[in-house]
Homo-oligomer: A and B are copies of this chain.
């Protein structure tokens, strides 16, 4: 069974993996906020446990078991976030830190019960998919708002970043998941966009913000 530390490395590896499924030691060190020698010794441990493939001076690659282990931790994290928001009344900006701890609890019944109580949600409060019990993730490919064209009607579906500051920014503009936005215009100079809401006035959103908003086009 993976230790808490190992679970955290697996999660980071899973999130950092590129198309080839490769992760560099330095990337991982930065993500985990530890030194490279620490990562070096930890990847050797993770390899012994069969969770990844490591060869000197090569990027590491998660094995199928490693991916599954990681996805199951992510499942616990996202179920917890959803439970905190839907059943305990927390805001989407408050749940990450708590879920970061609860994801390491070893109690299948606890997470299954959460799942049942919520009617088997497929996404977390930030729109990220919740892996199933076998660690399978249903990938959905949204567009970033930046990629959309003037005149399109879109629904805010997920985020590419869920930092507290960004979530608080979205709260201040009442930008919730499910919100419908119409793209009024795009400024070619700085890529900022003007969007209007169904009910009230329009907003100008910077490129940085538009890159972080994932949407479904509905018209």
Contact = CB atoms under 8 A, between A and B. Distances in A.
Nearest to A114: B88
Contacts of A106: 101
A87 B110 CA distance: 12
Contact of A88 (B89, B101, B102, B113): B113
Nearest to A107: B98
Interface string A84-102: 1001111000100110011
A117 interface: yes
A107 B113 contact: no
A217 B97 CA distance: 46
A110 B88 CA distance: 9
B97 A101 contact: no
A109 interface: yes
A42 interface: no
A114 B84 CA distance: 10
A2 to B, nearest CB: 15
Contacts of A98: 105, 107, 109-110
Report whether over half of chain A's contact residues are helix, strand or loop; otherwise say mixed. helix
B105 A90 contact: no
Nearest to A104: B101
A121 B105 CA distance: 24
B101 A113 contact: no
Contact of A101 (B87, B107, B114, B117): B107
A107 B117 contact: no
Contacts of A88: 110, 113-114, 117
A77 to B, nearest CB: 13
B102 A97 contact: no
A80 to B, nearest CB: 10
Interface string A56-88: 000000000000000000000000000010011
20 contacts: A84-B110, A87-B87, A88-B110, A88-B113, A88-B114, A88-B117, A89-B113, A90-B109, A90-B113, A94-B109, A97-B107, A98-B105, A98-B107, A98-B109, A98-B110, A101-B105, A101-B106, A101-B107, A102-B102, A102-B105
